[in-house]
Structure 1
């Protein structure tokens, strides 16, 4: 009876996320969909269990799915048993191993208690869809101009981490852990906010740039006014400006001193990796790259005039190309360009290991790490943009100004 309760609990870990009901078969059922058994597999500290199936396991209709636990192992460690049960059930649902160490579908136990990770959720949603309403409204203000998300690069969160919004009035608000929006500044001249690694910045209409001190409405002036500034980009622990004359500059970290990065180029968009590799999409469609600390010039990476946008998640680089909206990943080990979405995308956004694709019809998709397989997160025509963090949390801004958070 104890094992039945444990297995019921393990199945529930998955079924709470998907529109699938799994229950113990009654004694008069000729053939159950899933068989669980304990069979001696030999003494081993690594082979705890295995799952086998004749079909692909995604429909639960073959009746030939077997979860086999090693009966030669002493199952005295409840954490190991629970992890193994949830992990193997993931296989019966059609999931393969994950590359994310904190995910349940990570192939090794390592003595860590794991819960269903956003990577696990993305994988199982890609197969079965969703069980519950996915989005909750956390703000409804028609004056919302944009949203940004700040995540620290380390495992220790910064006090400034979180979601921020900029309103048409110039007010900057932070979404606190208790669900309230708190104002951190209100300046009518603010036209853009950006943030990364526990730092929040704002740009004024005159080009001046400020860094939030974390105290009240106190901001540090770090960039003098200039009508040459187009936008600011925060990444890793750096803040960059892109200018009308084609130059890209980086704040020195002191006063209002900015360092220009190499020769002027006709920059259209920049993106920066966690290791501060600077990627630059030019107006010609060329993509160039400069390695930290940016003293060796720009290396030409691609010369496709149809390139329209770039994004970086961690160290992974992606580009959007062509009028049909193709998403392409740079496999740096090869190195080769590999298409992962063949049509439909109009914007891409990456954070950590997660990549999102926004379509013109308002639908939002998250990459499953399998080429051409994307998980649909929303399909509203009212969507305006999507952002996420390195932990898999996702927020969406609607054209109406509403802000939604993915909750399932």
Structure 2
């Protein structure tokens, strides 16, 4: 079981099992799909053991319902009681909706058995590493250029493939590498931008030199930049189209959701956003808080990190700001439905989906950077240049 220190295997023939699973007639007036008993129930195969019984009088024509029922009943067999959270699988009543595993279900099993000790595998030791990024696509289809990349202090860019680092460019002019939706970009020290074609050291020029470009950000299928004069622009063709006119305060950080909502953290801590398709100057103030120090987007979710170490999520059902981590964070990273928080001691935590509940996935106290993909794979960069991959 993922991240739970349990190993469930079939019992050997004629061996005594911890959990017995069987089908039995409940009688025509019994509408239950199944039940779990911890003691003899009169029809037990082995009195005193845990028995999960499915109603053999029901026509199990939908494997999904059988699977849903099995997860619920085995949850009981593992010690879980009914949940008061209606979307949870362990909720007492079935309303006809085949619900996915809820964070309340996950935290219930973790509260009993704890967490697996995370295992990491070192994949690199490079004192010259400057940046590590993961290019990932928003769909379930992995694009050809999705993957893990690093940039060295010499400007060299390498891709991790089949256990080895392969050079995709080696140019001292390279100042930054970013990627999104299967596309890898680089910025040169003179502000020029390029897109990787997928062939070794073959890069397509996008925009010419521009000393005002100080950072590029890839989001969805777009490329953006922050400029030295404080405004934000989007690449259209071979030129930058202004989204924010020069003003004070300027932009500190930008982030983009899958639906191309552009978030802008200003130098005074204010948060503004612009909806797709953007128009110059059309920004909406969403938050006025000088304590905002960093932002992150995962899928269409938005998170902010505050100077006191708290992590806050924008619940769009309100909308309302909800604190999901009380203190301790110094950096956040989000991708898809995954959110990670790095603490000041170097430990890394993954958000479980329940406010205030985080799973520690790295306690080695030397992590300086964390990246991940939408499938839950995680990589960490250590202060000595080592790169480690989370195995389990």
User: Normalised by the shorter chain, which TM-score bucket?
Assistant: 0.7 to 0.9
- The reply on whether 1:40 has 2:22 as its aligned counterpart is no
- Aligned equivalents of 2:375, 2:306: Cα separation in 1: 27
CA separation of 1:183 and 1:47: change in aligned 2, threshold 3 A: farther
Q: For 1:209-228, list aligned pairs within 5 A.
A: 209-228=193-212
Structure 1: state its 5+ residue gaps. Answer: 1-13, 54-62, 102-106
Q: Is the 8 A contact 2:378 2:390 kept in 1?
A: yes
1:405 maps to which of 379, 389, 392? 389
Separation of aligned partners in 1, 2:28 and 2:314: 43
- Give the counterpart of 1:155 among 124, 140, 143: 140
Distance of 1:361 and 1:98 partners within structure 2: 37
- Residue equivalent to 1:145: 130
1:147 counterpart SS class? strand
Corresponding residue for 1:363? Answer: 347
Change (3 A) 1:43 1:244: farther
Shift of 1:369: 0.7
Which of the numbers 240, 244, 251 marks the counterpart of 1:262?
Answer: 244
Count of matched residue positions in the alignment of Structure 1 and Structure 2: 367
Q: Give yes or no for contact 1:123–1:368 (8 Å, CA) kept in 2.
A: no
Q: Do the aligned partners of residues 129 and 383 (structure 1) sit closer, same or farther apart at CA in structure 2, a change above 3 Å counting? A: farther
Does 1:72 find its partner at 2:57? yes
With structure 2 as the length reference, what TM-score do the two structures score?
A: 0.81
> What secondary structure is seen at the aligned counterpart in 2 of 1:240?
strand
Determine if contact 1:236/1:274 at 8 Å carries over to the other structure: yes
Match of 2:292 in 1: 307
Match status 1:298 vs 2:280: no
Q: How does 1:229-268 map to 2 (within 5 A)?
A: 229-252=213-236, 254=237, 256-265=238-247, 266-268=250-252
Superposition deviation, residue 199 in structure 1: 0.5
Assess if the C-alpha contact under 8 Å between 2:190 and 2:210 holds in 1: yes
2:149 is matched with which residue? 164
The Cα shift of 1:386 comes to: 0.6
Matched residues in 2 for 1:122 and 1:395: separation? 24
Q: 2 CA distance for matches of 1:235 and 1:98?
A: 35
Q: Compute the TM-score of the two structures, normalised by the length of structure 1.
A: 0.78
Unaligned stretches of 5+ in structure 2? 39-47, 90-95
| Cα displacement string for residues 294-346 of structure 1 (whole angstroms, at most 9, x for unaligned residues) | 127000000011111111111111111133x0011111111111111110001
**In the TM superposition, what are the counterparts of 1:364-383 in structure 2 within 5 Å?**
364-383=348-367
Superimposed CA distance per residue, residues 362-408 of structure 1 (whole angstroms, 9 cap, x where no aligned partner):
11111111000001100112101111111111111111111111111
User: 2:74 is paired with a residue of what secondary structure?
Assistant: helix
SS at match of 1:193: strand
Shift of 1:20: 3.6
Note the aligned Cα RMSD (angstroms): 3.8
Give the 3 Å change call, closer, same or farther, for CA 299–78 of structure 1 in structure 2.
closer
- Give runs of aligned pairs for residues 6-405 of structure 1, distance below 5 A: 14=1, 17-20=3-6, 38=24, 40=26, 48-49=33-34, 67-74=52-59, 84-86=69-71, 88-90=73-75, 92=78, 94=80, 128-131=113-116, 133-176=118-161, 178-252=162-236, 254=237, 256-265=238-247, 266-295=250-279, 297-323=282-308, 325-405=309-389
Distance 2:188 2:86 in 1: 43
